[in-house]
Amino acid sequence: MTERIVLAYSGGLDTSVAIGWIGEATGAEVIAVAVDVGQGGESLETIRQRALGCGAVEAYVADASDEFANEYCMPTLQANALYQGHYPLVSAISRPVIVKHLVKAAREFGATTVAHGCTGKGNDQVRFEVGIQTLGPDLKCIAPVRDLALTRDKAIAFAEEKGLPIETTKKNPYSIDQNVWGRAVETGYLEDIWNAPTKDIYDYTATPEFPPAPDEVTISFEAGVPVAIDGVKVTPLQAIKELNRRAGAQGVGRIDVVEDRLVGIKSREIYEAPGAMALITAHKHLEDITIEREQARFKATVGQRWAELVYDGQWFSPLKRSLDAFIADTQRYVSGDIRMVLHGGQAIVNGRRSETSLYDFDLATYDTGDTFDQSMARGFIELWGMSAKVASGRDIRVAGK
């Protein structure tokens, strides 16, 4: 039986050419796997037909938009995950769901190898291959660009020679990856980190310099998951899409950052994540009134480590699974409403309410009705500072000798 290879297929030039390129280099049959994670653009059927037209013996297509929103975006939201304090893991969280479907397709079609279109200097090669090794340890991995010398100029020449049904004349200077959680742009003009981004690179967000009138929105959460916007019930996918639209119109969620890649180099990245950043902002403010202080402090540390693991391709790791359990436990009381104003590139919270809030008005107020016993403060301060006071006394005593 002829060997079969499943290929993560986007429908673009490189992966379309990779179908025939892999076939010629290995003698294997190629099954194209396309996964919709809310990236928009062409329909799955169009992509499926293109894959077959480029020589794939089978084309596996999956609409995973709701799966992606429910099982990947929502845990990211609950963790308030921002890699290096900036990046909401747009590409990093889409790779595990694609990997899941690649392995599923490999089992379904009897493939022994999984292929992806990543280069040898990016993060995604690690995310794909570590995920595949974890879910399908018997499967092999290849990367045509990295392992089979498939460069862009060779891809264009191959496509023209074979008459493949794919556009080869237009060359976008940028590398773009997008899904419903956000959009990532890199390379080209942006590789000089002194160059400011030009307006043409943005798609999910309008320019914040000349915004429309302020947009006030109320987001309702249950156990850390958005369930309604302005009183209208929504699914996680609908919540992200609605806030992509409304926050994007106000220029919210533009991120320009130089980040530390897993492979050891620094890389300049431009991200657009209007829905993600608005939701994370709202969620964090709701946590501020519903999570106990020490638990919240530790959760911030856990969220940072969670983001690093996911960025580094460890979605399926034991530590990630353990951190998931902690984060899920913290979300028990994260229910309520957050009101925020979207305007001029900012999402500013101006109201919050929750039946499980730890905010006690009578304890917090300075007006009549204050129930806080201020006489407790003096003794508390004495005890709180005792350790430092004793140590300071020791320092003075030793220094005087």
Positions marked catalytic? 14, 95, 124, 175
Give which of 186, 123, 106, 118 is closest to 148, Cα–Cα: 118
Q: Give the C-alpha separation, 394 to 87, whole Å.
A: 46
Q: How far is CA 195 from CA 114, 189, 191, 192, in A?
A: 38, 7, 8, 6
3-state secondary structure of 310: helix
Tokens describing residue 389:
């006071």
Alpha-carbon dihedral 144, 145, 147, 149, rounded to 10 degrees: 100
The CA-atom distances, in angstroms, between 170 and each of 13, 200, 220, 228, 325 are 10, 16, 44, 42, 47
Would strands 232-233 and 175-179 be described as parallel, antiparallel, or unpaired? unpaired
How far apart, in whole angstroms, are the C-alpha atoms of residue 387 and residue 378?
A: 16
Local structure of 34: helix, strand or coil: strand
SS (H, E, C) 205-247: CCCCCCCCCCEEEEEEEECCEEEEECCEECCHHHHHHHHHHHH
Sheet arrangement for strand 113-115: 58-63, 29-36, 4-8, 113-115, 140-142
What DSSP state is assigned to residue 333? G
Distance CA 395, CA 154 (A): 71
- 355: which residues sit within 8 A by CB, 6+ positions away? 335, 336
